[in-house]
Amino acid sequence: KAGVTQTPRYLIKTRGQQVTLSCSPISGHRSVSWYQQTPGQGLQFLFEYFSETQRNKGNFPGRFSGRQFSNSRSEMNVSTLELGDSALYLCASSILAGGPDLITGELFFGEGSRLTVL
Amino acid sequence: DQQVKQNSPSLSVQEGRISILNCDYTNSMFDYFLWYKKYPAEGPTFLISISSIKDKNEDGRFTVFLNKSAKHLSLHIVPSQPGDSAVYFCAASADNAGNMLTFGGGTRLMVKP
């Protein structure tokens, strides 16, 4: 069974540019979450999509956006890149809706997309 | 404002001994707590979890303890093995928050042979 696939794995952008990252969840999983990992802040929640609807959003500026397609694949976009956006962006999928199900239906993470902004 | 904190950025233990990783939280709405392990260049992998209605959950060498009154949880690994060397993240979620997790900053565990 294929895991969570994220593309691209590595990318370098310059300030002011925009970037789109892609995530293909495990087959059958309807929930996709995005997290940003930086050395100073750890993993921070960006947003979660479930059945093409954004269910939760973290405390990030509007430059960060996402969407989910009918096949559950998800993309996130960061516009007007800043140096501080350099991070590992992790996608996680789950077959379940969360809440109490989290105890048995844990999130499965991809390997991440490492973004460097110069 | 960090709602989940792991105050020890690193921990070093001898193989065969116990590893104890600690985590504190401030949000009383958190109902579920999870531990993830992360190796370099890989995504985090689920280790063990606990609901707030329990105070202990055990899975093989891994045990998680929850002290709700202190808003503190800990992960015990007994016996520790060199392959356990990784970064461990504590995470928490509230019942109405879907799959949104709030993570701690992580603790790097090094198990020496």
C-alpha–C-alpha distance, residues B98 and A55, integer Å: 7
Residue A62 φ/ψ region, left for φ over 0, alpha for ψ in the -120 to 50 degree band, beta for the rest = alpha
C-alpha–C-alpha distance, residues B60 and B82, integer Å: 16
8 Å CB contact of B46 and A41: no
The stretch A89-97 carries a mean pLDDT of 87
Nearest chain B Cα distance for residue A78, angstroms: 20
Strands (E), A1-73: 5-7, 10-13, 19-24, 31-38, 42-50, 53-57, 64-68
A102 falls in which pLDDT band (50, 70, 90)? low
Question: Which residues 2-61 in chain B show a CB within 8 A of chain A?
Answer: 31-32, 34, 36, 41-46, 49-51
Residue B27 has pLDDT above 90, yes or no: yes
B95 falls in which pLDDT band (50, 70, 90)? confident
Least confident of A32-41, B67-76, B80-89: A32-41
* pLDDT value of position B77: 98
Residue B112 has pLDDT above 70, yes or no: yes
Enumerate the residues of chain B whose CB falls inside 8 A of the CB of residue A56. 97-100
